[in-house]
Amino acid sequence: MNELEDILKSKDHILIDTSFIIPEESSSLLKSLKEGLNGVYGISAEGIKRSIDKIAELQALICEREMEFLPEIIRELETGLTTIEEKIYRYKRKIRHKSAQKHYVIAEKLEKLRAYAKKLNSLIEFVKSKNKQRGSERDREDYRHYLSIAKNNKGILINSHSKNESNSIGKELETDLHIFATAAIRSYHDPVIILTRDEGIDRLITACFPEISKHLRKQNRLAMHYSISVYNPNL
């Protein structure tokens, strides 16, 4: 926690990955929901509470310190939230007229999951209200170039992702690639640090970094480039 506190006190530009917002324990809630009523029955009430608490902690951090959330991150969160809300609605209808003790337990957990969904929605709306896009036309040209570099190296991400349930939509949106391209652009102005629990992002940056230097050297912009680093609490 001390390292994270130091990051928050620094003047670095902070990018945040979905895996940092929705850690594996919280992601498992979505996985269990997809497994039907038996999956809901097996969800830990304490786990739901911890997931709610983590969202509250993150929202407090965002209030304290500006962070950038990419559109792809917000779409991942919104997709997960929609799935949770749809599953809760469907399962509540399924057990509406059931009277077995097991169904009472499921109903209680669905209510707790609804509280989690409400908290996640609050975080999403809060982030959307604060998020700002920055960058010149030249930055956008470089962004497309860095995105191309990342796509040429995206094979390094295979088998390197965490087991986070949001990764399926993240792969479709190519979130990691956009995080890399954004970090490269933001590093023109400030040191950048990425908050993540995904080892793949660190590997992608390491693999692509020589291409960043090569591109900047061609444009005589190497001197204005700052560092890109990764904070992963799992390592």
Whether the pLDDT of residue 224 is over 80: the answer is no
- Measure the CA–CA gap between 166 and 18, rounded to whole angstroms: 8
Residue 136 — very low, low, confident or very high, per pLDDT cuts 50/70/90? Answer: low
Cα(186)–Cα(203) distance, integer angstroms? 19
By the 8 A CB rule, do 25 and 51 touch? yes
Question: Where are the chain's structural domains?
Answer: 24-64+71-130, 137-231
Asked if 127 and 74 touch (Cβ cutoff 8 Å), the reply is: yes
pLDDT for residue 162 is more than 50: no
Cα 75 from Cα 168, distance rounded (Å): 12
pLDDT tens digit string along 169-183?
A: 677 778 999 999 999
DSSP 194: E
Mean pLDDT of 205-212: 87
Q: Residue 148 pLDDT more than 50?
A: yes
Give me the mean pLDDT over the 184-200 stretch. 90
Per-residue pLDDT of 101-122, as tens digits, reads 889 999 999 999 999 999 999 9
The pLDDT, as a whole number, for residue 135 is 58
Residue 205 backbone dihedrals phi, psi, to 5 degrees: -60, -45
pTM: 0.86
Across 62-71, 177-186, 188-197, 218-227, least confident range? 218-227
Mean pLDDT of 146-165: 70
Phi, psi of 96 (to 5 degrees): -55, -40
Contact 191, 229 (CB under 8 A): yes
Taking the C-alpha atoms of residue 9 and residue 173, their distance in angstroms, rounded to an integer, is 31
Q: Bigger pLDDT: 111 or 28? A: 111
Percent of the chain with pLDDT over 70: 88
Q: Is residue 3's pLDDT more than 80?
A: yes
Question: Would you state the pLDDT for residue 234?
Answer: 83
Q: What is the mean pLDDT of residues 41-49?
A: 92
Written as one letter, the residue type at 162 is: S
CA distance 15 to 121: 20
The pLDDT tens digits of the residues spanning 47-77 come to 999 999 999 998 898 888 889 999 999 999 9
Q: What is the mean pLDDT of the chain?
A: 85
